Amino acid sequence: MSEFPYLPLETKGWRMAMGLRPLDIDHWLEVDEGRESELEQKRRLLERAYDVVVATNREGDAGSRELLAEVTNFLEVHYPNITIELRDDDHPVVAAARLVQEDLCVLVRSDAWRLQAACVCFPSRWNLASKLGTTLDDIHRPVPSYDVELSRPTNAFFERLKPSRSFWRLNWTLIDSPALHQPTSARRSPHGDLADWFFRVERQTLRRLPLSDAIIFTIRNYVASAQELCDSHEEFGPTLLLNLDTAPESMQSYKGWIGVADRLRRSLGGVTN
Ligand code: HEM
């Protein structure tokens, strides 16, 4: 397995945090050897399930056009060998999303910051159509404790975000399928044990665009076999177990992890015996 780029487990146990870090804009989007296959998956999804992976309101048009210009400029500067082909009939957020492995969301300020355009081919168990036009608080309604712990700082962050300083953050989960396209929000516990599980990391970036004043949210997914990560990183298994054990029950239930820590404990015991 090639080196897995991000292992965002908390060494001291579960913590609910914004976890924002300053983004070096030269590393806004990431291109790797999975590009061809992921872009092919996007092409297929756009053909067969357009309404599942694309949602747009007119309010998001200007931000989408500026996003497309930013994406093409980024690729021209940092990946000059990539050929940029655009189709005339694509919405600009779709045109941009066809060029990169990231999923792309455009948020626009009206009475509040609202999601007004997006192309999300690789959702981690959420439904895009139901979030279109809604606020950050509504988008995050299913997330336990978001309202008390993250709503205020996240809204304040959006108000203060400047085009000159962008940010990124990581989310992770443990699931029983390596599929990138997981649009159903039902969260059942992963079946099986360590050998059947996958560690899925989302690398997210946040930028405010200067002309349209939209905020662009990008989501890039990385998935690896949990067993392989345990084998290749000594600390991974025990730290994963610590994070599962210390996550509040509401979060375990939201993430579909009920009973998973005990099964992981047994799997890890098997590895070390
Ligand atoms: C500073 C910005 C943000 C923070 C701190 C944040 C935080 C979070 C957290 C903690 C979760 C729980 C996910 C997990 O760990 O599995 C979550 C879920 C989610 N976030 Fe965010 N988020 C941010 C921005 C956004 C933006 C801009 C969008 C726009 C599309 C978004 C869309 C979502 C969605 C769709 C979910 C899944 C909700 C569901 O289960 O229905 N987030 N976010």
Substitution site in 116, 143, 152 for ligand 1 pocket (most atoms within 8 Å of beta carbon): 143
pLDDT exceeds 50 at position 171: yes
* Closest atom, ligand 1, to C-alpha of 217: 27
The confidence score (pLDDT) of residue 273 equals 40
Token pair recorded at residue 260:
């998973």
pLDDT in tens, 50-107: 999 999 999 999 999 999 999 999 999 999 999 999 999 999 999 999 999 999 999 9
Q: How confident is the model at residue 190 (pLDDT cuts 50, 70, 90)?
A: confident
pLDDT in tens, 38-57: 999 999 999 999 999 999 99
Evaluate: CB of 154 within 6 angstroms of ligand 1. yes
| Distance from C-alpha of 220 to C-alpha of 152, rounded to nearest angstrom | 25
Evaluate: CB of 207 within 6 angstroms of ligand 1. no
Placement of tokens 């189709």 in the chain = 87
Among candidate residues 181, 188, 37, the one with its CA nearest the CA of residue 123: 181
Distance 6 CA to ligand 1 centre (A): 18
The residue ranges of DSSP E strands in the chain, in sequence order, are 21-23, 54-56, 103-109, 113-119, 166-175, 198-208, 215-225
Q: How confident is the model at residue 189 (pLDDT cuts 50, 70, 90)?
A: confident
Contact at 8 Å (CB) between 51 and 91? no
Q: Where in the chain are the domains?
A: 21-178+200-225
The confidence score (pLDDT) of residue 270 equals 57
| Distance from C-alpha of 213 to C-alpha of 226, rounded to nearest angstrom | 40
pLDDT in tens, 213-272: 999 999 999 999 999 999 999 999 999 999 999 999 999 999 999 899 999 999 998 544
In eight-state DSSP terms, residue 183 is -
The confidence score (pLDDT) of residue 3 equals 86
Contact at 8 Å (CB) between 216 and 105? yes
Helices (H), 49-89: 50-53, 61-78
Could you give the angle at the alpha carbon of 93 between the alpha carbons of 169 and 101, nearest 5°?
50
Token pair recorded at residue 203:
């690398």
